[in-house]
Amino acid sequence: MRKALILLVVLVVVILGIGTWYKFYRDVEQPSWIGSTERTKFLYGSIGAEDSAGIPYWIWLALPRIFPEYMPGLGGYASLGLSWEETIEMPVGLSKKTVGYVRVAGDCALCHGYSKSNGPDAAPTVFAAGPGHTTEYQRMLLFYKQCAQDPRFNASNILGEVGMATKLSLLDSLIYRFILIPRTRERFLRGDPALLDAALLRHSESPKAEAASYRQRLETLEGGLSGAEKDALAAYLKSLP
């Protein structure tokens, strides 16, 4: 009887361990199209920031819809300078990747990418890297902190908004309600960098930090570009230390 009880306890521990790994740490590759060119890899590819940073995808999606008054203007994340390419779900500079659950994190293009307007009725032209960066990252962090300070930042409101976009499983709903939403709110209130890991944060605050590594990435990117986008990056590289 005692041996059976020990086996049962071990089995429960193993199942819980596998479940925890699957729901919180399982690493899933991004879609193959993202890594198919240097350009798409730079604009949308994960650089590993999800391991220590990142925002749960459904919270990231819901917040501008619940708290539009904390945005600097109309258009949700676009009002913070983020740019979208036609037919692409995520904005330039943010990767979407599953590490247990789907997370959104920053990549190199969050600071280096920019866009040029083609008029009010046309999509902007996106440049992978160059001068004239348009993303207001600090303003984005302020938006998240203002959301977290609002009493409407709670599981019922957020899951209600998420429910208008997708139907989470019962287990995922419970994980969001009791773990991800409270934990994300605490991080926002602390002023955590949210989308950036330590290396990206150092580089964004001081471009000379790890400059050699990031310059190498830009030079690799240059080889995959053409036309005006390549010319803009070449000029940008000459301006870097």
Q: Is residue 83 one of the residues assigned to a domain?
A: yes
Percentage of the chain exceeding pLDDT 70: 96
Asked if the model's pLDDT at residue 132 lies above 60, the reply is: no
Q: Is residue 88 part of a domain?
A: yes
Non-local (6+) Cβ contacts of 132 within 8 A are 114, 116
Q: Do the domain assignments include residue 9?
A: no
SS3 26: coil
Residue 225 has a pLDDT of 93
Is there a contact between 128 and 43 (Cβ–Cβ < 8 Å)?
Answer: yes
| Average model confidence (pLDDT) across the chain | 90
pLDDT tier at 131, thresholds 50, 70, 90? low
Q: CA 89, CA 44: separation in Å to the nearest integer?
A: 10
Q: What is the pLDDT of residue 105?
A: 96
Q: Which residues pair with 126 in a beta bridge?
A: 115
> pTM of whole model > 0.85?
yes
Determine which of 6-10, 63-67, 94-98 has the lowest per-residue pLDDT on average. Answer: 6-10
Q: Any idea which of 73-87, 91-105, 109-123 has the lowest mean pLDDT?
A: 109-123
Please tell me whether residue 2 adopts helix, strand or coil conformation: helix
Q: Is residue 117 part of a domain?
A: yes
Q: Work out the angle at residue 70's Cα, subtended by the Cα atoms of residues 66 and 74, and round it to the nearest 5 degrees.
A: 85
Q: Is residue 209 pLDDT above 70, yes or no?
A: no
Please report, for the chain, how many H helices and E strands are present, in that order. Answer: 11, 5
Q: Which residues contact 63 (CB under 8 A, 6 or more apart)?
A: 143, 144, 147, 158
Q: For residues 101-118, give the mean pLDDT.
A: 89
Q: What is the CA radius of gyration of the chain?
A: 20
- Rounded Cα–Cα distance for residues 172 and 169 (Å): 5
Count structural domains, the chain.
1
pLDDT band with cut points at 50, 70 and 90 for residue 51: confident
| Sequence-ordered strand ranges (E) for the chain | 55-56, 94-99, 101-106, 114-116, 125-127
Give pLDDT, residue 134: 61
- Tokens for 9, please give them: 């306890």
Q: What is the DSSP secondary structure assignment for residue 102, as one 8-state letter?
A: E
Higher pLDDT, 112 or 27: 27
Which residue range is the domain that position 146 belongs to?
Answer: 30-239
Q: Is residue 156 part of a domain?
A: yes
Q: Evaluate whether residue 119 is within a structural domain.
A: yes
Is residue 17, in this structure, part of any structural domain at all?
Answer: no
The four Cα atoms 16, 22, 25, 26 give a dihedral, to 10 degrees, of 150
- pLDDT tens per residue across span 183-192: 999 999 999 8
* Residue 122 maps to a domain: yes
